[in-house]
Structure 1
Amino acid sequence: MNLILLSPDDLTGDNRACISDPRRLGHLHNVHRSTPGDLLTVGIQGGAMGKARLTELTAERAYFTLETMDEPPPAPLPVHLVLALPRPRMLARTLEHVTALGVKDITLLHTKRVEKSYWQSPELRTEKIHQHLVLGLEQARDTQLPNVTLSKGFRPFLEEQLPSLLKQYRGLLAHPGMPHACPRDVKYPTLLLVGPEGGFIAWEVEQLLAAGCEGMHLGPRILRVETAVTALLSRLF
């Protein structure tokens, strides 16, 4: 936890804050080994970052006085990530990774090779998704939560959502065997589409290309989803 991320509910007024959840308290006690008087890096969810003085620390509570809160969060990546829903354990890691890298818009999509049971996973509960996003923000020292949309039908996404997205973004479809390599250091807003384990089926690829997406690849190696997404974002931006 490189940033203590404060929610609006943690703020008590008069530039003070209090946290009481076991995860953050445990980190203060066991990782930071904090003591009253320490100056720590904090951020307010949706707001600025800065320094806060730890004024009291017990097993149940930590109290802070906010001192300098004038540092903006890092700039987001100009990307909307459309990700075929991964298996639950991989989803958790991927959400944390892409949040740490600065993705602010994420659509989780159903495709032919996505197991229907994945949509019943506890990892898709609102509170679980929020937890993984917060972990990514704390890692990267960021305060702006991504927006996560669940799209449980490929055809409705193709017909109802994709056309409007392609008016705002340049669509890049990451899929093995595409003729062009992934571009580098792009400056334009990008819609990045990444398939599931095993990739998109041929019909899905055809439909996405026909809709206006451009196919590209990362080379001859077949990567796990979490690795591929990280590599794509790093190369693109």
Structure 2
Amino acid sequence: MNLILLAPEDIENHRLARVTDPRRLRHLREVHRATPGDRLTLGVLGGGIGQGELLALDDREATFRLDGLDQPPPPALPVHLVLALPRPRMLARSLEHATALGVKAITLLHTRRVEKSYWQSPELAAEKIHQHLVLGLEQARDTLLPTVTLEKGFRPFVEERLPGLLEGRRGLLAHPGMAQACPRGIDDPTLLLVGPEGGFIPWEVEKLLEAGCEGIHLGPRILRVETAVTALLARLF
């Protein structure tokens, strides 16, 4: 936790903040080993970043005096990530990594090689998704939550939603065997599509290319989903 992320309701009179949830308190005690008088980096969810002095810390509450939370969060990446729904454990890591890297729009998509049981996972509960996004924000000292959209049908997504997402964006389909290597250092608004374990099936690749996406690859190695997402984002932006 490189940022103590406060909810707006944690703040009193614009000067004091109180943290009461067990996860953040445990992190303050066990990782930061914080003691009264320490100055830590704080941020408000959806707002600014600054410093705060720890006034008190016990098993039930931490109290901070705020010194102006007026610094902006780091800039977002100009990308909408469309990710074939990974297995639950991999989903958690992928959400955290993408959020830490600055992705602000994520679509989780059903494809042929996505197990239908994945859609029943507790990891897709709104509260669990929120937890993983917050962990990514805390890691990167960010305060702006991504939006996460669930798309449970591939054909409706391609036919009804994809054309709108591609308006004003460059569509990049990351898939092994594509002719073009992943570009480097772009700043175009981008729609990045990443398949599941085993990749998109040929019919899905065909439909995405027909819709206007460019096929790209990361080389001959086959990577895990969370590794591929991180590598693609780092190389692209």
Give the TM-score, by structure 1 length: 0.99
Which residue does the alignment assign to 1:197? 197
Determine whether 1:232 maps to 2:232: yes
Q: Take 1:175 and 1:31, find their aligned partners in 2: how far apart are those partners?
A: 39
The runs of at least 4 aligned residues of structure 1 exceeding 2 Å deviation read none
Determine whether 1:221 maps to 2:221: yes
Q: Take 1:132 and 1:36, find their aligned partners in 2: how far apart are those partners?
A: 29
Q: Take 2:28 and 2:5, find their aligned partners in 1: how far apart are those partners?
A: 12
| Superposed displacement of residue 13, structure 1 | 2.2
Counting only pairs closer than 5 Å after superposition, residues 9-20 of structure 1 correspond to structure 2 as 9-20=9-20
1:19-47 superposed Cα distances (whole Å, 9 cap, x missing partner) = 11111000111111111111110000011
Which residue does the alignment assign to 2:108? 108
Which residue does the alignment assign to 1:185? 185
Determine whether 1:162 maps to 2:191: no
* Structure 2 residue matching 1:207: 3-state secondary structure: helix
Per mean C-alpha deviation after superposition, the further-off stretch among 83-92 and 56-65 is: 56-65
Give the CA RMSD over aligned residues: 0.7
- Name structure 2 gaps, 5 residues minimum: none
- Name structure 1 gaps, 5 residues minimum: none
Q: Take 2:222 and 2:58, find their aligned partners in 1: how far apart are those partners?
A: 49
* Structure 1 residue matching 2:167: 3-state secondary structure: helix
| Superposed displacement of residue 59, structure 1 | 0.7
Q: Take 2:9 and 2:233, find their aligned partners in 1: how far apart are those partners?
A: 33
Which residue does the alignment assign to 2:129? 129
Q: Take 1:173 and 1:197, find their aligned partners in 2: how far apart are those partners?
A: 15
| Superposed displacement of residue 86, structure 1 | 0.1
Which residue does the alignment assign to 1:55? 55
Q: Take 1:9 and 1:69, find their aligned partners in 2: how far apart are those partners?
A: 15
Identity %: 73
| Superposed displacement of residue 159, structure 1 | 1.1
1:29-83 superposed Cα distances (whole Å, 9 cap, x missing partner) = 1111111111110000011000011111111001111113221100000000000
Counting only pairs closer than 5 Å after superposition, residues 35-114 of structure 1 correspond to structure 2 as 35-114=35-114
